[in-house]
Amino acid sequence: MSIQRLVFASLACFSLVSAASAADAGKDLYTKTCAVCHAAGIAGAPKYGNAGDWQPRIAGGVPKLYGSALKGTAKGMPPKGGNLDAPDADVKAAVDYMLASVKTAPAAVKPAAPTTSPAAAATSAAPPAAQQARPVDVSANTSGASAADINSFNRLLKPVGKRNPPPAEDGIHDPANDGTLALMAPLAAYGPLPKSLAGNRINWVKAIEENKINPRWDRNDPNATPVVIDLNIVREVKGSMPDVVYPHKQHTEWLDCSNCHPGIFVPQKGANAISMAAILLGEKCGVCHGKVAFPVSECRLCHSKKKDVRPVQAAATAAK
């Protein structure tokens, strides 16, 4: 299939462009592979430039961090960020690149936080623990959804009174940033959009289909348009649940291929082990569903393909 070749060809290019110096290679790999999760802190990934996220980890020693980056962790860091072709040295360089971001930018810590250097953190466990507690306090005061919530990975599953709070109280936007106050409140903005029964109560797929919204594709170029591919992948499910149909069309209207390939999914049908357990832990489809796309409670949106009557059932019916 030609699309497939194209994708693999472009994946192969990733290793060709690795630049001369280790620092460049680290930055390149970070941009291509790691940023998908580490730029915004998806699925609990320590954020690039956020000293508070990194210091408790640096305290465990940099060699341990290299190990996690190469072999992955049980809490959602995929081995080599999913880019298994990346040379070990480049992966380590990408770790160095992320660590440099917190050494050179202590200002990224919340203003009131003491600027503990990574070296100081390594000698004492107390300061990182105090800093970790700080962001939790902030969100607990404003939205009631602390990072320690069991369901923090599934934040779209919310009781009625806690849905769609104003930006300064949603636990996503920085309440200390003036820009946050300039944002339109969701309850006003969502009024004219098609409704759904889950998540933030808007059917975003329909909103695009009906031209109710026209999201800008590229921050810099107002005329850029998405590359939409209409390719459904059916994932057969054992047992009685209907099979899962993964639709590329509805995703590529919002997302660039690089949002999923290769960081979250190898672009090959059946090549990824996906399970409900992983999704509930905020991995695979759960990187987005429950956070920025409809939540896992909407079984039938994913499990949408009815199975043919199974032979056993058919035989049982015939025997009656």
Q: Which residues from 80-99 bind ligand HEC, rule CB under 6 A? A: 80-83, 91, 94-95
Sequence-distant (6+) residues with CB within 8 A of 89 are 22, 25
Residue 257 binds ligand HEC, judged by CB under 6 A: yes
139 contacts 147 by C-beta, under 8 angstroms: yes
Comparing CB distances to ligand HEC, the nearer of 168 and 280 is: 280
Residues 144-183 that bind ligand HEC (CB under 6 A): none
Residue 293 binds ligand HEC, judged by CB under 6 A: yes
Q: Residue 286 Cβ, how far from ligand HEC at the closest point, in Å?
A: 7
Of 77, 102, 108, 145, the residue at the interface with ligand HEC (CB under 6 A) is 77
Residue 241 binds ligand HEC, judged by CB under 6 A: yes
- Secondary structure (3-state) at 147: coil
Residues 15-54 that bind ligand HEC (CB under 6 A): 29, 33-34, 36-38, 42-46
Q: Residue 181 Cβ, how far from ligand HEC at the closest point, in Å?
A: 26
Residue written as tokens 């949408």?
Answer: 304
CA distance 226 to 263: 19
Both tokens of 149, joined, read 């919530």
- Secondary structure (3-state) at 222: coil
Q: Residue 30 Cβ, how far from ligand HEC at the closest point, in Å?
A: 6
Comparing CB distances to ligand HEC, the nearer of 300 and 320 is: 300
CA distance 154 to 295: 7
Q: Residue 284 Cβ, how far from ligand HEC at the closest point, in Å?
A: 6
Q: Which of 113, 139, 137 is nearest to 127 (CA)?
A: 113
Residue 216 binds ligand HEC, judged by CB under 6 A: no
Residue 103 binds ligand HEC, judged by CB under 6 A: no
193-202's contacts with Cβ under 8 Å and 24+ in sequence apart are 196/294, 197/298, 198/156, 198/294, 198/295, 198/297, 198/298, 199/156, 199/293, 199/294, 199/295, 199/298, 200/156, 200/163, 200/164, 201/163, 201/164
Q: Residue 83 Cβ, how far from ligand HEC at the closest point, in Å?
A: 6
Of 233, 242, 281, 305, the residue at the interface with ligand HEC (CB under 6 A) is 233
> What is the DSSP pairing of strand 232-235 with strand 244-247?
antiparallel
Q: Residue 227 Cβ, how far from ligand HEC at the closest point, in Å?
A: 5
Residue 10 binds ligand HEC, judged by CB under 6 A: no
Of 104, 232, 268, 313, the residue at the interface with ligand HEC (CB under 6 A) is 268
Residue 102 binds ligand HEC, judged by CB under 6 A: no
Q: What are the counts of helices (DSSP H) followed by strands (DSSP E) for the chain? A: 15, 2
Residues 273-292 that bind ligand HEC (CB under 6 A): 274-277, 279, 284-285, 287-289, 292
Residue 270 binds ligand HEC, judged by CB under 6 A: yes
Of 162, 201, 212, 248, the residue at the interface with ligand HEC (CB under 6 A) is 248
Comparing CB distances to ligand HEC, the nearer of 134 and 249 is: 249
Residue 201 binds ligand HEC, judged by CB under 6 A: no
Residue written as tokens 């409670």?
Answer: 297
Residue 299 binds ligand HEC, judged by CB under 6 A: yes
CA distance 55 to 162: 32
CA distance 114 to 307: 58
